[in-house]
Chain A
């Protein structure tokens, strides 16, 4: 559909560097990523109160525009928007207008006519949220909730929040990402975030058939053997085997995959003793991770889910804030010179 231009990171930033859309982590610097994590910390505290809502987005409308099925991501976005006091509309486009032949642009025009302030977009095609951000009415924020194999920036940021909670800083950390890197938009965003935040090493561990051909250009070390790969590792991120995206015979069998790349209690001992285990979910128990590990002491998988709400609250309020700033800047520029002095 669209060829998005990675050389135009300004699409998601205001002129003074505030977030106004959240499409990709590429082009966002360390201070901005740290601001997102810090703001999310404040929202974690809000989640512990009797009343978990704050009035930041009161009177605004957030549309969850999901062109691809999702339970966890959509429900945490929905909860995040509701906790910011926004009105939320969930649209599952698979079962809606596009199946009746309406184009993406027409669907969007109709939604904008409902005075929406933010679209949270998930799409199976890489670049769809960029396309929407380029064509949307000024003042409307676009949040990428996962596009094709390209990016899943809120998932990566909630993972960074989880890592920071347990390891406190990124300098010196060795992080392993294990499994289906090829089909994983999460892995791409995680690698980008870890590099920006200053992790010492990002190591991807996978069979050659599940690595993208350009893996070296992502700036991480590649390991095909899990025994060697887990050595000295502080953080293990397991990825889900995306069977629904598999075309052709990339794997001999799931059992073989588990034997070689599954995280078992035995293999976990190869990493540092205080290593934490993460998984973006949903988990295929016995395919990429042993149940005892997923539920074990080193697992922080359920922390990730809680952090997902706080990160999404942070990103939504910051992007809306950037839109507000840009609009008031445009208004003051529109005034004739001399009036506001």
Chain B
């Protein structure tokens, strides 16, 4: 499993996939926004890899989750931080793992409360499948299919590595 998930290789793939997307869409001045926590580490790395000048953004989607009526508020919520205007910008939204698609829906709802972006590209390190909403990433470094009780999570920030764990009791 670890051989399949070499971090440098995954990051290379994410970077080249993004460069391709930007070129195809003729986007020259994008901003990166990472979803806390794993997505923020990736946004930090890719901001440097893509040679972007400005800062990247951090989203905490706790106030936008769709399961408040079932599990309540995340007690560890931190302020989101978008140190730039999003109105009219081309945004690259990054998360470590995509599964149901609910996190991305929440993140896009939150992003629109800052202004109306020109476009959003979605990039994730890992795609677990098991989608519950019609949301697909534009760039994925690796697709994984695990047993239903298994989850992956990006751990970090130093060193960045991927953890696969069982949710069974």
Give the chain B neighbours of A325 by CB distance below 8 A. Answer: 71-72
Looking at B71, B73, B79, which has the most chain A CB atoms within 10 Å of its CB? B73
What's the Cα separation between A317 and B72 when bound, in Å?
8
What's the Cα separation between A317 and B68 when bound, in Å?
10
Whether the pair B68, A46 counts as a contact (CB closer than 8 A) is: no
Quick one: which of B58-76 are within 8 Å of A by CB?
A: 60, 62-64, 68-73, 75
Give the chain A neighbours of B9 by CB distance below 8 A. Answer: none
Within the complex, the shortest CB–CB distance from B115 to chain A, in Å, comes to 5
> Which one, A50-58, A219-227, A279-287, is touching chain B?
A50-58
Sort chain A's interface into a size bin. Answer: 20 to 34
B29 within 8 A of A: no
What's the Cα separation between A291 and B72 when bound, in Å?
44
Whether the pair A50, B75 counts as a contact (CB closer than 8 A) is: no
B side interface size, CB within 8 A:
22
Whether the pair A42, B73 counts as a contact (CB closer than 8 A) is: no
Whether the pair B79, A56 counts as a contact (CB closer than 8 A) is: no
Looking at A55, A317, A320, which has the most chain B CB atoms within 10 Å of its CB? A55
B158 within 8 A of A: no
- Chain A contact residues, majority secondary structure: helix
Whether the pair B60, A317 counts as a contact (CB closer than 8 A) is: no
Residue-wise, chain A 45-68 has the 8 Å CB interface mask toward B (1 for contact) of 110011111111000000000000
Give the chain B neighbours of A49 by CB distance below 8 A. Answer: 113-114
What's the Cα separation between A39 and B77 when bound, in Å?
6
Residue-wise, chain A 243-263 has the 8 Å CB interface mask toward B (1 for contact) of 000000000000000000000
Give the chain A neighbours of B64 by CB distance below 8 A. Answer: 54-55
Within the complex, the shortest CB–CB distance from A255 to chain B, in Å, comes to 46
B80 within 8 A of A: yes
Whether the pair B115, A321 counts as a contact (CB closer than 8 A) is: no
Q: What number of A-B contacts does a CB cutoff of 8 Å give?
A: 59
Residue-wise, chain B 35-77 has the 8 Å CB interface mask toward A (1 for contact) of 0000000000000000000000000101110001111110101
What's the Cα separation between A320 and B72 when bound, in Å?
8
What's the Cα separation between A41 and B79 when bound, in Å?
7
Chain A residue, CB-CB nearest to B73: A321
Whether the pair B63, A42 counts as a contact (CB closer than 8 A) is: yes
Whether the pair B75, A35 counts as a contact (CB closer than 8 A) is: yes
A124 within 8 A of B: no
A136 within 8 A of B: no
If A321-B73, A325-B72 touch, whether A55 touches B79 (CB-CB below 8 Å) is: no
Whether the pair B75, A45 counts as a contact (CB closer than 8 A) is: no
A318 within 8 A of B: yes
Whether the pair B71, A324 counts as a contact (CB closer than 8 A) is: yes
A322 within 8 A of B: yes
Looking at B72, B79, B80, which has the most chain A CB atoms within 10 Å of its CB? B72
Hey, which bits of chain A sit against chain B, CB under 8 A? 18, 35, 38-39, 41-42, 44-46, 49-56, 317-318, 320-322, 324-325, 328
Instruction: Jot down 13 A-B pairs with beta carbons below 8 A, ordered by A.
Output: A18-B72, A35-B75, A38-B77, A39-B75, A42-B80, A46-B63, A50-B113, A51-B112, A56-B68, A56-B73, A317-B63, A317-B73, A321-B68
